[in-house]
Amino acid sequence: MKALEERILAEGEVLPGGVLKVGSFLNQQIDIDFLMQMGKDIAQAFEDCGVTKVITVEASGIAFAVAAAYYLGVPVTFAKKNKTSNASPDVYSAYVDSFTHGKTYEIMLPKEYIKPGERVLIVDDFLACGNAIKGLCKIISDAGATAVGAAAAIEKGFQGGGDELRRDGLKIHSLAIVDSMDDGKIVFRNN
Ligand code: 5GP
Protein backbone atom coordinates (compact mmCIF):
# COMPACT_ATOMS: atom_id res chain seq x y z
CA MET A 1 0.00 0.00 0.00
CA LYS A 2 1.82 3.04 -1.34
CA ALA A 3 0.16 5.46 1.09
CA LEU A 4 1.41 3.42 4.06
CA GLU A 5 4.96 3.32 2.70
CA GLU A 6 4.88 7.12 2.28
CA ARG A 7 3.54 7.53 5.82
CA ILE A 8 6.28 5.30 7.23
CA LEU A 9 8.94 7.31 5.40
CA ALA A 10 7.46 10.60 6.61
CA GLU A 11 6.73 9.68 10.25
CA GLY A 12 8.44 6.38 11.09
CA GLU A 13 11.43 6.38 13.42
CA VAL A 14 14.01 3.63 13.35
CA LEU A 15 14.94 2.75 16.94
CA PRO A 16 17.91 0.69 18.10
CA GLY A 17 17.46 -3.08 17.88
CA GLY A 18 15.52 -3.09 14.63
CA VAL A 19 12.37 -1.53 16.05
CA LEU A 20 10.24 0.79 13.91
CA LYS A 21 8.18 3.37 15.78
CA VAL A 22 4.94 4.46 14.11
CA GLY A 23 3.29 5.88 17.21
CA SER A 24 2.07 9.00 15.43
CA PHE A 25 -0.53 7.21 13.26
CA LEU A 26 -0.81 3.52 14.16
CA ASN A 27 0.21 2.70 17.70
CA GLN A 28 0.01 5.38 20.36
CA GLN A 29 -1.99 7.91 18.32
CA ILE A 30 -4.32 6.62 15.63
CA ASP A 31 -5.30 8.27 12.33
CA ILE A 32 -8.73 6.69 12.09
CA ASP A 33 -9.41 7.49 8.41
CA PHE A 34 -6.09 5.97 7.50
CA LEU A 35 -6.63 2.98 9.79
CA MET A 36 -9.97 2.28 8.08
CA GLN A 37 -8.36 2.47 4.61
CA MET A 38 -5.82 -0.10 5.76
CA GLY A 39 -8.56 -2.30 7.21
CA LYS A 40 -10.47 -2.14 3.91
CA ASP A 41 -7.40 -3.33 1.98
CA ILE A 42 -7.04 -6.32 4.34
CA ALA A 43 -10.75 -7.17 4.04
CA GLN A 44 -10.49 -7.12 0.21
CA ALA A 45 -7.50 -9.46 0.30
CA PHE A 46 -9.44 -12.03 2.34
CA GLU A 47 -12.98 -11.43 1.04
CA ASP A 48 -13.20 -14.87 -0.62
CA CYS A 49 -11.86 -16.82 2.38
CA GLY A 50 -15.13 -17.22 4.30
CA VAL A 51 -13.73 -15.48 7.38
CA THR A 52 -16.00 -15.78 10.43
CA LYS A 53 -13.76 -14.04 12.98
CA VAL A 54 -10.71 -11.82 13.28
CA ILE A 55 -8.22 -12.53 16.06
CA THR A 56 -5.30 -10.50 17.39
CA VAL A 57 -3.17 -10.02 20.52
CA GLU A 58 -3.57 -7.12 22.93
CA ALA A 59 -2.82 -4.29 22.83
CA SER A 60 -1.30 -2.70 19.75
CA GLY A 61 -3.00 -4.98 17.23
CA ILE A 62 -6.53 -4.29 18.39
CA ALA A 63 -7.33 -1.05 16.53
CA PHE A 64 -6.10 -2.38 13.18
CA ALA A 65 -7.90 -5.70 13.72
CA VAL A 66 -11.14 -3.81 14.42
CA ALA A 67 -10.80 -1.92 11.12
CA ALA A 68 -10.28 -5.13 9.13
CA ALA A 69 -13.11 -6.93 10.94
CA TYR A 70 -15.45 -4.00 10.29
CA TYR A 71 -15.06 -4.37 6.51
CA LEU A 72 -15.29 -8.16 6.69
CA GLY A 73 -18.48 -7.82 8.76
CA VAL A 74 -17.27 -10.22 11.46
CA PRO A 75 -16.46 -9.95 15.19
CA VAL A 76 -12.95 -9.43 16.48
CA THR A 77 -11.52 -11.11 19.55
CA PHE A 78 -8.09 -10.70 21.15
CA ALA A 79 -5.79 -12.85 23.22
CA LYS A 80 -4.70 -11.30 26.52
CA LYS A 81 -1.14 -11.27 27.74
CA ASN A 82 -1.92 -10.99 31.43
CA LYS A 83 -4.24 -12.92 33.70
CA THR A 84 -6.86 -10.53 35.09
CA SER A 85 -9.26 -11.14 37.94
CA ASN A 86 -12.31 -11.23 35.65
CA ALA A 87 -10.62 -13.52 33.09
CA SER A 88 -12.15 -16.88 32.36
CA PRO A 89 -10.01 -19.77 33.67
CA ASP A 90 -11.07 -21.87 30.70
CA VAL A 91 -8.66 -20.67 28.03
CA TYR A 92 -6.60 -21.73 25.05
CA SER A 93 -3.04 -20.51 25.48
CA ALA A 94 0.37 -20.30 23.83
CA TYR A 95 3.81 -19.01 24.76
CA VAL A 96 5.18 -16.20 22.61
CA ASP A 97 8.73 -14.80 22.54
CA SER A 98 8.68 -11.03 22.19
CA PHE A 99 11.82 -9.56 20.75
CA THR A 100 10.58 -5.98 21.31
CA HIS A 101 10.15 -6.65 25.04
CA GLY A 102 12.88 -9.29 25.30
CA LYS A 103 10.74 -11.82 27.17
CA THR A 104 8.37 -14.74 26.74
CA TYR A 105 4.76 -14.25 27.69
CA GLU A 106 1.67 -16.43 27.73
CA ILE A 107 -1.22 -15.34 25.52
CA MET A 108 -4.69 -16.54 26.48
CA LEU A 109 -8.06 -16.62 24.77
CA PRO A 110 -11.21 -17.85 26.56
CA LYS A 111 -12.67 -20.94 24.91
CA GLU A 112 -16.06 -19.22 24.65
CA TYR A 113 -14.69 -16.82 22.01
CA ILE A 114 -13.41 -19.34 19.49
CA LYS A 115 -15.36 -22.38 18.38
CA PRO A 116 -14.56 -25.48 16.30
CA GLY A 117 -15.16 -24.90 12.59
CA GLU A 118 -14.58 -21.14 12.67
CA ARG A 119 -12.52 -19.62 9.86
CA VAL A 120 -10.20 -17.18 11.53
CA LEU A 121 -8.10 -14.33 10.11
CA ILE A 122 -5.14 -13.23 12.24
CA VAL A 123 -4.49 -9.47 12.12
CA ASP A 124 -1.61 -7.65 13.81
CA ASP A 125 0.07 -4.26 13.48
CA PHE A 126 3.57 -5.72 12.95
CA LEU A 127 4.92 -9.00 11.65
CA ALA A 128 8.57 -9.47 12.64
CA CYS A 129 9.78 -12.97 13.62
CA GLY A 130 6.24 -14.34 13.33
CA ASN A 131 6.02 -15.53 16.94
CA ALA A 132 2.74 -13.77 17.75
CA ILE A 133 1.14 -15.23 14.62
CA LYS A 134 2.49 -18.72 15.40
CA GLY A 135 1.05 -18.48 18.93
CA LEU A 136 -2.33 -17.45 17.57
CA CYS A 137 -2.18 -20.30 15.01
CA LYS A 138 -1.70 -22.74 17.91
CA ILE A 139 -4.71 -21.32 19.75
CA ILE A 140 -6.84 -21.54 16.57
CA SER A 141 -5.73 -25.11 15.95
CA ASP A 142 -6.31 -26.14 19.60
CA ALA A 143 -9.85 -24.77 19.25
CA GLY A 144 -10.53 -26.94 16.19
CA ALA A 145 -10.82 -23.83 14.02
CA THR A 146 -8.95 -22.94 10.81
CA ALA A 147 -6.49 -20.09 10.27
CA VAL A 148 -7.32 -18.77 6.79
CA GLY A 149 -4.30 -16.46 6.85
CA ALA A 150 -2.64 -13.57 8.57
CA ALA A 151 -2.47 -9.86 7.82
CA ALA A 152 -0.07 -7.23 9.08
CA ALA A 153 0.11 -3.52 8.53
CA ILE A 154 3.91 -3.57 8.55
CA GLU A 155 6.05 -6.64 7.96
CA LYS A 156 9.74 -6.38 8.78
CA GLY A 157 10.93 -8.70 6.04
CA PHE A 158 14.50 -8.76 7.31
CA GLN A 159 13.38 -10.67 10.42
CA GLY A 160 12.10 -13.53 8.27
CA GLY A 161 8.86 -14.45 10.06
CA GLY A 162 6.58 -13.61 7.13
CA ASP A 163 8.55 -15.62 4.59
CA GLU A 164 8.77 -18.60 6.96
CA LEU A 165 4.99 -18.57 7.44
CA ARG A 166 4.48 -18.25 3.64
CA ARG A 167 6.76 -21.28 3.13
CA ASP A 168 4.63 -23.15 5.67
CA GLY A 169 1.62 -22.45 3.44
CA LEU A 170 -0.13 -19.71 5.39
CA LYS A 171 -1.56 -16.88 3.28
CA ILE A 172 0.16 -13.68 4.46
CA HIS A 173 -0.91 -10.20 3.38
CA SER A 174 1.21 -7.28 4.56
CA LEU A 175 0.44 -3.73 3.53
CA ALA A 176 4.09 -2.67 3.60
CA ILE A 177 7.18 -4.86 3.77
CA VAL A 178 10.33 -3.24 5.11
CA ASP A 179 13.32 -5.16 3.79
CA SER A 180 15.99 -3.17 5.60
CA MET A 181 16.42 -0.28 8.02
CA ASP A 182 20.23 -0.18 8.07
CA ASP A 183 21.60 3.17 9.28
CA GLY A 184 18.03 4.40 9.68
CA LYS A 185 17.30 4.16 5.95
CA ILE A 186 14.01 2.38 5.34
CA VAL A 187 13.89 0.24 2.17
CA PHE A 188 10.67 -1.47 1.06
CA ARG A 189 10.30 -4.75 -0.78
CA ASN A 190 8.79 -4.41 -4.26
CA ASN A 191 5.64 -6.47 -4.22
P1 5GP B 1 6.71 -11.11 16.05
O2 5GP B 1 5.94 -11.96 17.00
O3 5GP B 1 6.26 -11.26 14.62
O4 5GP B 1 8.19 -11.22 16.22
O5 5GP B 1 6.42 -9.58 16.46
C6 5GP B 1 5.14 -9.05 16.31
C7 5GP B 1 4.71 -8.27 17.52
O8 5GP B 1 5.78 -7.53 18.09
C9 5GP B 1 3.62 -7.31 17.13
O10 5GP B 1 2.47 -7.67 17.84
C11 5GP B 1 4.12 -5.94 17.55
O12 5GP B 1 3.32 -5.44 18.58
C13 5GP B 1 5.52 -6.14 18.05
N14 5GP B 1 6.54 -5.56 17.15
C15 5GP B 1 7.49 -6.24 16.46
N16 5GP B 1 8.31 -5.43 15.82
C17 5GP B 1 7.87 -4.18 16.06
C18 5GP B 1 8.33 -2.88 15.65
O19 5GP B 1 9.33 -2.71 14.93
N20 5GP B 1 7.60 -1.82 16.09
C21 5GP B 1 6.53 -1.95 16.88
N22 5GP B 1 5.87 -0.85 17.25
N23 5GP B 1 6.08 -3.17 17.31
C24 5GP B 1 6.75 -4.26 16.90
How far apart, in whole angstroms, are the C-alpha atoms of residue 74 and residue 53? 5
Residue 132 CB less than 6 A away from ligand 1: yes
Question: Per residue in 138-157, pLDDT tens?
Answer: 999 999 999 999 999 999 99
Question: Per residue in 24-48, pLDDT tens?
Answer: 999 999 999 999 999 999 999 999 9
With pLDDT > 90 as the criterion, what percentage of the chain qualifies?
A: 92
Q: Which amino acid is at 40?
A: K
Check pLDDT > 80 for residue 164: yes
Residue 127 CB less than 6 A away from ligand 1: yes
Instruction: State the pLDDT at residue 168.
Output: 97
Instruction: State the pLDDT at residue 34.
Output: 98
Mean pLDDT check: name the lowest of 56-60, 71-75, 86-90.
86-90
With the C-alpha atoms ordered 138, 147, 171, 14, is the resulting torsion angle positive or negative? Answer: negative
Residue 125 CB less than 6 A away from ligand 1: yes
The pLDDT-based confidence of 100 (bands split at 50, 70, 90) is: confident
Mean pLDDT check: name the lowest of 101-105, 135-139, 175-179.
101-105
How many angstroms is it from 16 CA to the middle of ligand 1? Answer: 14
Check pLDDT > 80 for residue 85: no
Which residues lie across from 13 on neighbouring strands? 21
The pLDDT-based confidence of 102 (bands split at 50, 70, 90) is: confident
What does the DSSP 8-state code read for residue 159?
Answer: G
Check pLDDT > 80 for residue 73: yes
How many angstroms is it from 145 CA to the middle of ligand 1? Answer: 25
Whole-prediction pTM: 0.97
The pLDDT-based confidence of 191 (bands split at 50, 70, 90) is: low
How many angstroms is it from 117 CA to the middle of ligand 1? Answer: 29
How far apart, in whole angstroms, are the C-alpha atoms of residue 126 and residue 59? 12
Please identify, by atom number, the ligand 1 atom nearest to the C-alpha of residue 27: 22
Q: Angle at the Cα of 47 (from 41 to 48), degrees rounded to 5?
A: 145
Instruction: State the pLDDT at residue 92.
Output: 97
Q: Provide mean pLDDT across the span 14-32.
A: 96
How many angstroms is it from 120 CA to the middle of ligand 1? Answer: 20
Question: Taking the domains of the chain in order of start, what are their residue ranges?
Answer: 2-188
Residue 38 CB less than 6 A away from ligand 1: no
Residues 6 or more apart whose Cβ sits within 8 Å of residue 64: 26, 35, 38, 39, 56, 123, 124, 125, 153
Residue 100 CB less than 6 A away from ligand 1: yes
Per-chain mean pLDDT for the chain: 95
Residue 64 CB less than 6 A away from ligand 1: no
Backbone angles phi, psi at 27, to 5 degrees: -100, -70
- When the candidates are 3.30.365.10, 1.20.1290.10, 3.30.379.10, 3.40.50.2020, the CATH number that belongs to 2-188 is 3.40.50.2020
